[in-house]
Amino acid sequence: MTVLRLTKASLSQTWPFAGKSEYPTLLAVKGSENVMGADDQQERLKTVGWIVGFVDGEGCFSVAIQRCRVVKLGWQVFPEFVVTQGARSLAALESLQQFFRCGRIHINRRHDNHKEHLYRFCVRAVRDLREKVIPFFRENPLRTAKRRDFELFVQVLDLMKQKRHLSMEGIREIATIVKQINRQKSPRFLESSETVRQASR
């Protein structure tokens, strides 16, 4: 059994019980649940609760439909799970990356009047989304309106599994779902001249 530990410093900016005895130290346990002691199980529950609350507040599920000259249709679907934090809370994103064992952390350098750069923990690989991110949030549901965004996000991944994103009709179906996620504006795909021409046939 491999135990990954999370320090108080890494969550001091985001966990409401920082400094208290309830603060979780166990991030994830890999291996048989049968060998987990009661204390480990309790710590894991605290960690799961932190992740759900953190993503409810700072995460998002998004899908972009972008032009791509190297694919036959000229359009490509990009699903993404993102959590954003300022530089002072970078350690919290590193903890998420360690927990899910996937994704990358990107820096968005600011040159305005903000005092710190932004960091984004992003999971873009479809396999990681299907095998790691989606199963976690199915087992541990979000509690805010983002739960609906997650459900729509899963619908898009299901359509991609059926290879619907490889046809114009399928991408249009995906685009109508994308409009509902995070109340995004209408994807450029729906307004493109190619889409309008095909829809009018």
Q: Total domain count for the chain?
A: 1
Alpha-carbon gap, residue 42 to 79, rounded angstroms: 33
Residue type at position 32: S
CATH of the domain at 153: 3.10.28.10
Q: Which residue has the tokens 């109508």?
A: 176
What 3-state class would DSSP assign to 49?
helix
Q: Chain-centre distance of CA 160, in angstroms?
A: 17
Write out the chain's pLDDT in tens, 201 residues.
334 444 444 444 444 433 333 333 334 434 434 445 666 778 888 899 999 999 999 999 999 999 888 888 889 999 999 999 999 999 999 999 999 999 999 998 876 666 788 999 999 999 999 999 999 999 999 999 999 999 999 999 999 999 999 999 999 999 999 989 866 555 565 555 444 334 334
Q: Could you list the residue range(s) of the whole structural domain that residue 84 is in? A: 2-199
**H or E segment to which residue 120 belongs:** strand 118-123
What 3-state class would DSSP assign to 117?
coil
Question: Which pair of tokens denotes residue 68?
Answer: 């791509």
